[in-house]
Chains A and B, each alone.
Chain A
Amino acid sequence: MNNKGSDKILSIYWFAILVLVAGGIFMMTISFYNHPYDVREIEAEIIINNIADCLSQNGELNSELFNATGFSEDFRTNFLAKCHLNFEAGEGEEGQYYSEISFYNAGDLNSLAYEITGGNKNLAASCSIQNEKEYKREAICVEKTFFSLNGENLYLIKILSAIGKAEKNVR
């Protein structure tokens, strides 16, 4: 084959490669922008921060958590309102938030001293399977723990938050 002929074949190959690369980039871009931004993990972390701020200030537990006999039942019942959280869903819709707060005495981490829950409890079921890829459309769960004092008593507080909102965050 002469030089000119081989040059032409080379440029055909070159453009074939360009078309392939362009096709790949096109597919990747379309696929990237077709997927919504998943912000559920950040939301779960913000809920935990807000709850932690509500339960404990400067390392001391909120005095509203206690009454004369121990942990307050009123706080448990009105937890969402007291912590300024609105977990309500629209009419006919399922709740998209769930939070579970567990208090343990630092001396005995196996026995639960007090528990508060709020939101749609069904979302908690997704927490154990969320790391499996096929369940990525389920709720996202985040758990954080911290210590806080009530007078002389030290408590370990575990906050679990689950966010649904799969339709808006996963495709």
Chain B
Amino acid sequence: MVFGKRGSLLMENLVFIILNLIFLTLLVLFLLRQGEGAVVLEQAYAKEIALLVDSAKPGTTMLLNIEKGKKLAEKNNVDVEDIIKIDSNSVIVKLSEKGGYSYSFFNDVDVSAYPDTTDPQNIKDYVIKINNYQNE
């Protein structure tokens, strides 16, 4: 193909702009992916739940949106029922088969955590229920 002087200038600029756009897109994708890793999300969920439990009084029921975590767990073959577990005074969040993050809470309460099955086909939330004090 034969380009004139104007044509080749336009082509060079076009290539330059496209390369810049590719570069910026890769950078943005990298930044977005960093915040959605299993390790980061597990830690964020575990600490968030521990702080919620610490501040709560018996009789409180909380709904926690776990859509992001659920997507990641499904991708990593983890059942929705296994994402959040409460073991004595620790919250354990698992979004990958080999991973898992636990964080302890100090509020001496009995806590239940289970998926909200109001719409079983589309589970979006987890129910965190503060039952009663351990030592009444």
Contact = CB atoms under 8 A, between A and B. Distances in A.
Interface string A1-26: 00000010001001100100010011
A84 B27 contact: no
A37 interface: yes
B72 interface: no
Nearest to A87: B106
Given A18-B20, A39-B51, A86-B134, A33 B107 contact: no
Interface string A89-120: 00000001100000000000000000000000
B109 A84 contact: yes
Interface in B46-61: 47, 50-51, 54-55
B121 interface: no
B47 A37 contact: yes
A125 interface: no
A50 B55 CA distance: 8
Q: Which among B44, B103, B109 has the greatest number of chain A C-beta atoms within 10 A?
A: B103
A18 B23 contact: yes
A49 B107 CA distance: 12
A9 B34 CA distance: 34
A32 B109 CA distance: 34
B40 interface: yes
A29 B31 contact: yes
A3 to B, nearest CB: 10
Contact of A33 (B34, B47, B54, B55): B34
B65 interface: no
A39 B43 CA distance: 11
Contacts of B12: 7
Given A84-B108, A168-B103, 16 more contacts: A22-B27, A26-B30, A29-B34, A33-B37, A37-B43, A37-B44, A39-B47, A43-B54, A43-B106, A46-B51, A47-B54, A84-B107, A84-B134, A84-B135, A86-B108, A87-B106
12 contacts: A14-B16, A33-B35, A33-B40, A37-B43, A46-B51, A46-B54, A46-B55, A47-B106, A80-B108, A85-B107, A87-B106, A88-B89
